[in-house]
């Protein structure tokens, strides 16, 4: 039987300092290694769901339960959740002047595993991974995201994904506004993540290029804070052809 990785039960979420409820009772189960697609019109609550799963303090959980790797993580901080092996790629990643991309990734891995990695071993793997992604090695020595273009930020995040090897990755519109070259890197990176890390994935995207690179296990359609439809990859094709209308009006 498939091994459960993430289980979300009746998740009710509002913005921390407001009463506005955004998610009205979301249920979601993801087994180890599965690929899930989350679709929905703008403002449906997709990013809120991703951020809440990762322990983002901007959101308040009013009801429900989140379990990851069999552990109740509903009350855990973002830092603890990422140590357990969950990763999110944001729409707008942070810039950290004074810390190179390379050092940032090495420190993140050490924080996650609690073990020191020898610089030599780290550099070897970093170089190999950057080659797979067709990334110029000089990126690694630049300060994290400082002066990076949108495409370069995404490439840097995909590099982090492959180096950190989380058991669950959430990619939130990692492709929006990217040039062809960056979308290619993202879809290559996602394929590599599935192949070499074997991790589970929740992808929030409209990009046919990225979706075509994936073997989709399940698709979820979120409308106004409720999951209104679930099924296989054919839902993706249907939405790309006909839009969300029938899901909104049901
Ligand atoms: P999606 O990612 O599906 O486009 P979001 O999760 O970003 O949707 O937003 C869902 C709804 O919640 C929107 O109406 C949005 O304005 C609101 N919302 C999300 N985050 C916040 C926040 N931090 N403060 C206020 N409103 C928010
Ligand atoms: Mg969003």
pTM comes to 0.93
- Residue located nearest, by CA, to atom 5 of ligand 1: 45
- Report CA(173)–ligand 1 centroid distance (Å): 14
- Report CA(213)–ligand 1 centroid distance (Å): 28
Q: Which ligand is nearest to the CA of 46?
A: 1
50-106 pLDDT per residue, tens: 999 999 999 999 999 999 999 999 999 998 999 999 998 866 677 888 999 999 999
Is 206 near ligand 1, meaning CB less than 6 Å away?
no
Measured from the Cα of 222, ligand 1's closest atom is 3
Label residue 181 by pLDDT band (50, 70, 90): confident
| pLDDT at position 128 | 96
Mean pLDDT within 157-161 = 93
| pLDDT at position 217 | 95
107-143 pLDDT per residue, tens: 999 988 889 999 999 999 999 999 999 889 998 999 9
- The CA distance from 227 to 191, in Å, is 27
Q: Give all strands of the β-sheet with 226-231 in edge-to-edge order.
A: 86-89, 168-172, 200-204, 35-39, 218-223, 226-231
Q: Which ligand is nearest to the CA of 89?
A: 2
Q: Could you list which residues have their CB under 5 Å from ion ligand 2?
A: 46-47
């Amino acid at each position: 039987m498939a091994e459960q990785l993430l289980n979300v039960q009746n998740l009710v979420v509002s913005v921390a300092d407001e009463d506005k409820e955004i998610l009205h009772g979301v249920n979601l189960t993801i087994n180890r290694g599965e690929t899930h697609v989350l679709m929905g019109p703008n403002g449906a609550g997709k990013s809120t769901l991703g951020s809440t799963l990762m322990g983002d303090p901007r959101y308040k959980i009013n009801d429900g339960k989140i379990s990851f790797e069999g552990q109740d993580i509903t009350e855990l901080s973002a830092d603890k959740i990422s140590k357990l092996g969950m990763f999110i790629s944001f729409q707008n990643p942070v810039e950290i002047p004074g810390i190179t991309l390379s050092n940032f990734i090495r420190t993140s891995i050490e924080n996650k595993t609690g073990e020191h990695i020898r610089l030599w071993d780290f550099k070897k793997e970093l170089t190999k991974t950057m080659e797979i992604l067709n990334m110029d090695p000089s990126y690694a020595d630049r300060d994290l995201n400082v002066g990076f273009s949108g495409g370069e930020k995404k490439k840097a995040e995909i590099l982090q994904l492959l180096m950190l090897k989380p058991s669950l990755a959430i990619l939130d519109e990692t492709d929006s506004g990217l040039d062809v070259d960056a979308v290619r890197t993202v879809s290559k990176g996602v394929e590599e993540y599935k192949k070499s890390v074997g991790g589970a994935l929740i992808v929030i995207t409209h990009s046919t290029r990225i979706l075509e690179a994936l073997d989709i296990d399940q698709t979820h359609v979120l409308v106004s804070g409720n999951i209104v439809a679930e099924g296989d990859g054919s839902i993706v094709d249907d939405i790309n052809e006909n839009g969300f209308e029938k899901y909104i009006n049901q």
